[in-house]
Amino acid sequence: MRILIVEDDREAANYLVKALKEAGHVVEQANDGDTGAHLVATESWDVVVMDRMLPKRDGLSIVQEMRDRGQTTPVLVLSALGQVDDRVEGLRAGGDDYLAKPYAFTELLARVEALARRARPGEVETSYRVGDLVLDRLSHSVTRAGEDVPLQPREFRLLEYLMKNAGQVVTRTMLLENVWDYHFDPQTNVIDVHMSRLRAKIDRGQERPLLHTVRGAGYMVREMPK
């Protein structure tokens, strides 16, 4: 996946480039607004990571310009400002996701990958399947190895989001934002407790668990190779 990082802090940018390369991506960086705007306009990217406050020009104005040109490349906006209105402003300018500094790299990676996946064209899926776990979005039903798994509405949405991003790490904040629509950190491990309940319903008594905890990052639904 081709990722462009527009970030004026060279140390942070170098670290991101290195870490994203290790995760198997092709990464380039721009250290000021003009270079960033030029690279965004002249080359094709899968995801752009855009810092808000850049020398020479504002990151959000570059995003705005992209959208005005009709460019749909997903953009993750990075900012030291993390309040509700800053987020609203960032998303209104055309950003697809918003991450406040300082962030954990795993969080950024998970979001970048989720963005790239979201941007991939394809028909709207009416059901997800991972191994023998099937979630039907139309009938709101879940089956594991053909057996019906009764879920609460919130558990269904939790699993739906996880399965939509199957094979990729989903962080706790991503779950909180996408399933509960809360953009703050509740401090207590509320998500973990919800996940362990979901896991009990899906994986208990099964030979091969599908719901995995990724240490220091979040959760992932995938079928592990034997």
Close Cβ partners of 65 (under 8 Å, ≥ 6 residues apart): 37, 41
Nearest distance from C-beta of residue 105 to other proteins, angstroms: 11
- Assess 12 for contact with other proteins (CB under 8 A): no
DSSP E strand stretches across the chain = 2-6, 26-30, 47-51, 75-79, 97-100, 127-130, 133-136, 141-144, 147-148, 170-171, 211-214, 218-221
Q: Is 52 in the site for other proteins (CB under 8 A)?
A: no
- Chain positions 104 to 133 lying near other proteins, rule: CB under 8 A, are 104
Q: Classify residue 38 by its DSSP letter.
A: H
Intra-chain end-to-end CA distance of the chain, in Å: 27
Is 42 near other proteins (CB under 8 A)? no
Piece of the chain touching other proteins by CB under 8 A; list 80-88, 108-116, 123-131, 164-172: 80-88
Nearer to other proteins, 15 or 182 (CB): 182
**From candidates 67, 129, 183, 201, binder to other proteins by CB under 8 A:** 183
Residues forming the site for other proteins (CB under 8 A):
82-85, 88-89, 100, 102, 104, 154, 180, 182-190, 193-194, 197, 216
